[in-house]
Amino acid sequence: MLKNYKEQKDMEERQPYPLSLDPHSDSITMNKNNKKLRALIQDAQKSGASEAEIISTRDIIVDNHLADLCREPRCENYGLSKSCPPHVSGPSVFKKQLEKFNQAIFFKIDVPSEILYSSERREVFQLLHEIAAGIEKSAVKMGFASAQAYAGGSCKKIFCHDHGDCLALSEEGKCRNPQYARPSMSGFGIDVAKLFKTSGWTMNWITHDTDSPSTKMANVCGLVLIY
């Protein structure tokens, strides 16, 4: 099913698509002709993102309560990797980091909900992390040296599911997949619902309705702070 969905996405990507920019921000409007930002948006879509937007970091809302939900009720991935709580700096430090940035790229991948309840779920989240890391890498090459990417899900379960532990948490302290694995937005209290609203998108919650004759869609998303 995921293969068929990817083939459909490939066909869509052959069609011309507009640059997605947030029309509500004066600073974003000023950057409509910025070739670097246009290239990052196009790269995200070519890599598999359904949509991508340039947003102002002023629109990124950080809620301590959202980060607390990782701990209580306890997420099954809590503490398993260096990219998840309690091993990340959390909302307070992230808020200070935001002060150093003006713009970010927010992107999403639309997938049928049933895929996220299947064995193909891991492939979707692998793609999510790869797109986020790819945008970050491209941004750095373009001169945005401080670019930072965030994704979703536990990198331990996504990339190191066959290993007993997170190598980055061991004495060796070296991640097995540093080129792809990125921190989860949840651990920093990033309000994803607000980002969907800012981007003008409808957020589809993950549901598992086997009785429905129609295909219900869900979203997974990532964020890259640019400059």
- Please give the pLDDT value at position 34: 77
Secondary structure of residue 169 in the 3-state scheme: helix
Residue type (1 letter), 46: K
Preceding peptide of 85 cis, ω within 30°? no
**Residues 173 and 213 sit within 8 Å (Cβ to Cβ):** no
Secondary structure of residue 224 in the 3-state scheme: strand
Secondary structure of residue 205 in the 3-state scheme: coil
The phi, psi pair for 12, rounded to 5°, reads -65, -35
Global pTM reads 0.82
Output DSSP code: residue 220.
E
Helix then strand then coil, % of the chain, to nearest 5: 40, 15, 45
Give Cα 88 to chain centroid, integer Å.
16
Q: What is the 3-state secondary structure (H, E, C) of 13-73?
A: HCCCCCCCECCCCHHHHCCCCCHHHHHHHHHHHHHCCCEEEEEEHHHCCECHHHHHCCCCC
Residue found by looking up tokens 């066959």 in the block = 162
- Per-residue pLDDT of the chain (227 residues), as tens digits, is 555 545 555 554 444 334 444 444 555 444 444 788 889 999 999 999 999 999 999 999 999 999 999 988 889 889 899 999 999 999 999 999 999 999 999 999 999 989 988 989 999 999 999 999 999 999 999 999 999 999 999 999 999 999 989 999 987 789 999 999 999 999 999 999 999 999 999 998 766 554 554 568 899 999 999 99
Report the distance separating Cα 14 and Cα 158, nearest Å: 29
